[in-house]
Amino acid sequence: MGTGRARVAASVLDADLANLAHDVRRVARAGADRIHLDVMDGHFVPNLTFGAKTIKALRRATEIPFDAHLMISEPGRYVEEFIEAGCDSITFHVEVDDPIAPVLETIRAAGLASGLAIRPGTPLDALEPYRDLLDIVLVMTVEPGFGGQSFRRDAAQKILPARDLLRHKPVGGEVHVDGGVNRETAEVVGGLGADVLIVGSALFTKGHDMGREIRLIKALADEGYQYQLNEGVPPIPRDNWVTIVQLPKALARRFMDEIEAGGIPVLMLRGDGSINPDGVRDYDVMVPATVEALTLERHAEARARFVAEADAWRASFGTGAG
């Protein structure tokens, strides 16, 4: 689990393919948040890597999420295989000739995060017809197909407007950036609002400490976000949760359902406050800290209503009512 905002997905394209499971475990121990798997078919891009069978075999090597990037011409033909292989998210390219919406729907129906990637020369509005089916927008800052290319700043300018395509997901929508991401470019993409930095060759460069490299890239990305987009305030860590109210169990459950209907995840945990007249402590209703303000804005009236209902319920014990 990370402590800041930025996440690193380790691309294993430049790993030791003769000992891939070892390198997957190594980047997981070094602090990578997920494994990025570049699948190439030699047709959509002029390179050939591995397929679903390799991913399925690797799935046993680690429990951290697998993020598949399909650089293939026919994602619809093979998507079920990648779902069955154990991927947690699947992204493919908007430039394919295959029908796109049915593939995204298949991925989401399987409970996975679905995404579309765009080449540097593809305009961002190519994704507009599919915005409601997107959990991930992958901005390519190199031409797909080979590792080790130089970062393209012009392509990176799509990162910030890409966030607008994910407005329907207050939590869970992610902009990924792939291509030439390293310690020199991390602050740039962080300052444009990238959520997940896909890092490959920088992690497997001889002489580099992989764990230090991951920590440095995350820190630089967070610094870029802090000073370019957040008025100098450090970003809220993605893994932080906050309590927005304490309520009796039944009321906490109803409030939780109301919040989750709007796409915000909720935890309901027994709190450590005072004990209610029925002998049970209030439950903490908790949301991710990154959406605390949004939750309170959306549900201020409901929160006040549930607090008032809780107070009336507690008072009823003193009067003998109920």
Active-site residues: which are they? Answer: 38, 178
SS3 (DSSP) at 13: helix
Region of 305 on the Ramachandran plot (φ > 0 left; ψ -120 to 50 alpha; else beta): alpha
Residue for token pair 């080790």: 148
Radius of gyration of the chain (CA): 22
Give the amino acid at 40.
Answer: M
Q: What's the CA angle centered on 79, arms 61 and 15, to 5 degrees?
A: 35
What are the two backbone dihedrals, phi and then psi, of residue 148, each rounded to the nearest 5 degrees? Answer: 80, 10
Would you say the C-alpha torsion 157, 94, 120, 111 has a positive or negative sign? positive
Are 88 and 59 in contact, with CB atoms under 8 Å apart?
no
Q: Where do runs of H (alpha helix) occur along the chain?
A: 20-30, 52-58, 75-84, 101-109, 153-156, 159-162, 186-191, 210-228, 249-260, 292-319
Strands 7-11 and 34-40, bridge-based pairing: parallel
